[in-house]
Structure 1
Amino acid sequence: MKSIDIVSIFPEIIDLYLQNSPVTKSIPEKDIIIKTHQLRNFSEDKHSRVDDKQYGGDPGMVLMAEPLMKSIDYISGLRSSNPFTILMSPQGKKLDQNIILEILNNDNIAIVCGRYEGVDERFIEEKVNIEVSIGDFILSGGELPSLILLESLLRFIPGIIGNEKSLDNDTFGKNYKNLLKGPVYTRPKKIKDREVPQILLSGDHKKIEDWRKKISKNRTKERRKDL
């Protein structure tokens, strides 16, 4: 059984998603546990404070190392093993399919949501296995990035996706790897003067596959030369 524990000072953001997402509603309970943890519960301050001014005089607050360390220690005891710990951070590796598959190799996963100016570096050195970013931009906290990571992980859990073969045909899936998926169509066959390509109506699966690969390569070259 896999476990995913998420540490945040705003766990209600995560909980709201867990309660309402069609992805999480289809999770087989015997296969995975997802639990949120309020970081303030691991503070020894009488006001449950988990942040403080940073050394060096720069503006902005920093999440303190000790409550973060205690939260991971608690999760280690809860799951009877040290979790593979991820910090959502703009300084991390940019999230992609390879990182998702790397994370999925672990049975116990902990995701820590950063806040403010960041987290005390000593927590990262002591407990974090990988820092992950969702892009070259800044948000106020790691809650939304953690949800992006969570859903990308859950899609690979058996039973979540109705037809698991569709994962192979996704952009960056096994059948496309470093290619963007081409256009898709559904009914009706014609909208105004725009028609579904005749090749898709031909029933010739080999020709359809060849057409899709060609369109995929052209689209990738046009839109994502970095791939």
Structure 2
Amino acid sequence: MSGSPFEAILFDLDGVLVDSELQANTVWVGLLAEHGLDIDLPTFMANAVGGTHAVLFEWLRREYGWTRPDTFIPEMDARLYEAFGSTQAIEGAARTLDLLWAAGLPFAVASNSQRGRLKRKLEASGLAPLVGEHAYDPAHVGGRGKPAPDLYAHAAAQLGADIARCLVIEDSVTGLSAGVAAGATAWGLLAGGHVHPDNAAQLTRAGAGRILRTHEELQGALELDRRLLRQPHS
């Protein structure tokens, strides 16, 4: 796209395109309580948002001495699958993707979600047709999820873009750190229902070049409406 400082836009999913963090973490807290570990939702979310399940289980073991029973993952999988069937797109997310398509600026989703959950959330939110095949999870990079840079580097490569000329859009320190480590420009987008008052400062310290609050702000920052108007007409 002529005049754009970016070759591609790389989105996190949860809390950036879909409002699923509260859904997921409520399931976790409820199931943990059934298995003998009571954690309040804000504490759990402060440690869980943006991370992989492996990292989360290690935190639970280290901080609480809790080890998951054999039945935990199957139970969690079933409950999350049910919960994610009602996942909603964040206000303005579909328009952002529509405008990117129309302006000819490639984009992808790079998420720490397990592949089946990633697909479920995209389909339930109505964003799957817009994202198409460019939805990537840690299994695409040997399980090396965020904060490792591999997932964002892989997404950029699949789009044929130079990661140094990509923009990463994130809502968590874990994810934003991955984008920065990969060599991309990274902006924080705090448009989800789980936003904490300290999030903006945390993302800025992690290297966010800008903090945005809505998809409308993101569209304006990327000048998507203006760029679309400048596209040649057939």
Q: Give the TM-score normalised by structure 1.
A: 0.35
Q: Which has the larger radius of gyration?
A: 1
Asked which structure has the greater RCO (Cα within 8 Å, sep 6+), the reply is 2
Higher-strand-fraction structure: 1
